[in-house]
Structure 1
């Protein structure tokens, strides 16, 4: 499993942090030992952050989430300021989702939101909340979190696509169609994201029994780059549709 994205440490810690994370990526067990040694030396939140990444890569997700929390708490209470603390809570939230711990992801994302992030950051955090809430079978609350994300930033990446997907799953096809049209309007053509939008447009159409519209959307998505996941998924969807005749 890949490690969650790292938050940027203080300038004075950058070199040590890079060295620590390089060890963690090459040999997670050694990375845990190196990060613990740095932590004992007084490495502060950066050392705990490296420890969290090393523990995550080593498969010890519970310890990693505890270390992310310790790093974020220390950053918020010391001289690092709110921005590094928000970044650490966000990294922890992503790690929790990757480790299938949505309750921790929700708590971490909400801790980051409590530190007054700017609009774009708040929007991304609300999408993290939405993902965690859906994983917790709280889809209506997840949809509200997506709405909050879009209220912060109408252009938040994947916001409209996620709204369309969740609305479809909830059976609100009017909302789903409106959201996927907005996603298409905002997404550059001939990109992986455009393929994802067309793939979801087909899902929305099929859910309403509109097979011809689904086929058209998936045919568009299937024409994308061979390396795009949406291209493969669209071709599989077209094959299933043809088999159902």
Structure 2
């Protein structure tokens, strides 16, 4: 195990060990591909066991695959900052092809965002973007997704102009991407460009009529325009199509405010 990783999460490691041994033979370590597939499968329904198995496998020479599985298990356990830190180190030290290293950096960015540290997410994603600017023949560019992710990190820091720049670039590379359009609608709304925000929200919904972010923004824009009935309709549609989404939670709060106020503000 890398010295920088060995003591990074002592409390969780102790909890895993005290919970009972996770035998290395739970993974078919003689077949690294099968061991990795099994370990990653475990992260979905038994992440604590997956972490213990990955640590044991790394001790047996599991290398990058074992380290990646351990980090993904930590992410699944809600240890987002620890997972992100491990993923960044893994991407830095990895000898895997560039597309795989970019994926690991994107996962690190997601971890930092979940941990409430968008500045660290922006840094990790910025590294990935710089690497992705060198095209790999026969491999689709990762730039649009990385730019969208960095835009989210920038918006979370209140840097809407910078976020909009990333989204402009993402959409120049992948026009009509519903996620990028919905995110740009949100940033443009906060920047006060309501007409442009409305156009982006509607374009996103033309691409994906049930996109949660676009429906939320449609309602937000209608509310700011003084169109209470249209705002309510957009948010109700969101509750019908994606009731368990974070956007639906925001829509419920907005609807409650409409009910109290009786009108938009």
Q: In 2, Cα distance between the equivalents of 1:205 and 1:120?
A: 36
The CA deviation string for residues 40-87 of structure 1, in whole angstroms up to 9 with x for no partner, is: 333232111112122334444443222212221233xx2x21111111
Deviation of 1:131 after TM superposition, in Å, equals: 1.0
How many Å separate the matches in 1 of 2:233 and 2:60?
61
Gapped regions of structure 1 (runs ≥ 5): 1-11
Distance 2:117 2:88 in 1: 14
Task: Tell whether 2:63 aligns with 1:44.
Answer: yes
Structure number with the bigger relative contact order (C-alpha 8 A, sep ≥ 6) is: 1
Q: Which residue of 1 aligns with 2:37?
A: 18
Match runs of 1:70-89 below 5 Å: 70-75=89-94, 78=95, 80-89=96-105
Match of 1:102 among 99, 103, 118: 118
CA, structure 1 residues 42+137, in 2 after alignment: closer, same or farther (shift >3 Å)? same
1:231 & 1:88 partners in 2: Cα distance? 29
Deviation track 1:195-231 (CA, whole Å, cap 9, x = no partner) reads 5433321210211223344345445556x34846467
Among candidates 201, 207, 211, match of residue 186 of structure 1: 207
Alignment pair present for 1:169 and 2:185? no
CA distance in 2, matches of 1:59, 1:199: 27
- Measure, in 1, the Cα distance between the counterparts of 2:70 and 2:242: 38
Give the 3 Å change call, closer, same or farther, for CA 37–215 of structure 1 in structure 2.
Answer: closer
Distance 1:139 1:49, change over 3 A: same
Instruction: Give the drift of 1:24.
Output: 4.4
Kept after mapping to 1: 8 A contact 2:58/2:67: yes
- Counterparts of 2:82 and 2:259, CA distance in 1: 48
Matched with 2:219 is: 202
The aligned residue for residue 9 of structure 1 is none
1:211 and 2:249 are equivalent in the alignment = no
What is the number of residues matched between the two proteins?
226
TM-score, normalisation: structure 1: 0.77
CA pair 30-138 structure 1, distance change in 2 beyond 3 A: same
Cα distance between partner residues in 2 of 1:236 and 1:68: 35
Unaligned runs of 5+ in 2: 1-30
What do you get for the CA RMSD once the two structures are aligned? Answer: 2.9
Q: Against the structure 1 CA distance between its residues 233 and 28, is the aligned structure 2 distance closer, same or farther, given a 3 Å change threshold?
A: closer
Task: Say yes or no: does 1:129 pair with 2:146.
Answer: no
